[in-house]
A = this chain, B = another copy of it.
Amino acid sequence: MNKVRLGVIGIGMMGTVYAKMLLNKEIKGAELTAVTDQKEEKRQWAKDAFGEDIDVFDSPESLMKSRKVDGVIIATPHFEHAELAVKAFKMDLHVLCEKPAGVYTKQVREMNEAAAKTKAVFSIMYNQRTNPVYRKVRELVSAGELGEIKRTIWIIDWYRSQSYHDMGSWRGTWAGEGGGVLLNQDPHQLDLWQWITSLTPVRIRAFCGFGKHYNIEVEDEVTAYTEFNNGATGLFVTSTGIAPETNRLEIYADKGKLVVENNQITFYRNRIPERQFNREWRGGFGTPENWKCDIPVHGNESGHKGIIENWVEAILFGIALIAPGVEGINGLMLSNAMHLSEWTDDWVTLPVDEELYLKNLRERMETSVYKKN
């Protein structure tokens, strides 16, 4: 194979972006051959917009069976991601899945199990993993520049007015989206938090506000306390109801404190690691000498295009994936745990009890104002 033939499933906002990227030959080694969408008017629009060379299928299944594609990009509503990926894997088709990996971990675990049974290449659209700022922080952590992490806090707001939620009847509903800020806005941060620190969350106690700021069903505010496997504590604080928006990541570690805000990395470096200082110091009051360091960041964010290119190169040449699809479950696990902790008003130990989560989610979907037609 020297060219990967791709189909795009779901040509909404992001699916259309990917289809056009491929049509415009922006992705070396790949070509768009087919698209599909559940809506008739979208399919008609695609026929007009993309031209006769692109097959427009009535369903994802017919697209997959057409033998016109080697892989699919799944850009449908969240609920369908995992189910469609499973179907693709059963036909040994390569899959690039939009974030989030799914809505609940049970379906995503099943997706990962299906992926393990094929040699198809599976990636997920974690385009923020191409952000040089976060790549740099991850590199610093893994090189040992921070030492043992003690505490990490991510405050991440995404202001979304009522007008935004009113743009689609599915928005802000349990049946339409399966969640709010955690499912729609935070998947990148929930992934990056673990990807950067290499810490494994052990248990979570979270506090969610549902429709606290807007007339919606789902969470528009979350404060989550997390305990990690090395004893470190974590706070994940997020809201769609707060303006101006904050995006501030703090990592407190043995060798100092690292802050990421406004795309800048500042490292407050202890000249002597704290634990060493503590062992050696005999003077009562006293703290390690600390240096404020501005950390350089090189390179550009290749973004969505970078993730697609990387996936295509992995298919063609076997290079390592930036965002392996099986890792999509990690961020979703945190998201599900945060919901479940609020619903049960208790700790949630990871991995989440997937049946309990699904039971709770379904109760909310059944009473949701959104009804899928």
Contacts and interface: CB of A to CB of B under 8 A. Distances in A.
Interface of A: 150-151, 153, 155, 159-164, 167, 205, 207, 209, 212-214, 221, 223, 225, 231, 233, 235, 237, 239, 241-246, 250, 252, 256-257, 268, 270, 274, 277-279, 281-288, 290
A252 B242 contact: yes
B162 A278 contact: yes
Given A225-B225, A235-B223, A242 B163 contact: no
Task: Give the interface SS of chain A, mostly helix, strand, loop or mixed.
Answer: mixed
A215 to B, nearest CB: 10
A303 B274 CA distance: 31
A12 to B, nearest CB: 14
Contacts of A278: 161-163, 213-214
B233 A286 contact: no
B241 A287 contact: no
A282 B284 CA distance: 60
A163 B284 contact: yes
The 9 closest A-B pairs by CB, nearest first: A244-B290, A159-B287, A243-B274, A161-B278, A161-B281, A244-B268, A163-B281, A167-B284, A164-B284
B223 A244 contact: no
Contacts of A257: 242, 244, 246
B243 A233 contact: no
Contact of A233 (B223, B225, B256): B223
Q: Number of copies of this chain in the oligomer?
A: 2
Contacts of A214: 278
Nearest to A255: B243
Contact of A288 (B151, B237, B243, B290): B243
Residue of A163, A207, A244, A285 ringed by the most chain B CB atoms within 10 A = A244
Contact of A277 (B225, B243, B245, B252): B243
Given A163-B282, A163-B283, A164-B286, 6 more contacts: A159-B274, A213-B278, A225-B225, A241-B274, A243-B274, A243-B290
Contacts of A283: 163
Nearest to A275: B213
A242 B270 CA distance: 11
Residue of A209, A245, A274 ringed by the most chain B CB atoms within 10 A = A274
Nearest to A166: B284
B207 A239 contact: no
Contact of A225 (B163, B223, B231): B223
A274 B160 CA distance: 11
B155 A153 contact: yes
A153 B281 contact: no
A234 B306 CA distance: 39
A245 B155 CA distance: 19
5 contacts: A161-B278, A242-B252, A244-B268, A244-B270, A244-B287
A257 B246 CA distance: 9
Contacts of A150: 239, 241-242
A233 B212 CA distance: 12
A243 B245 CA distance: 28
A285 B164 contact: yes
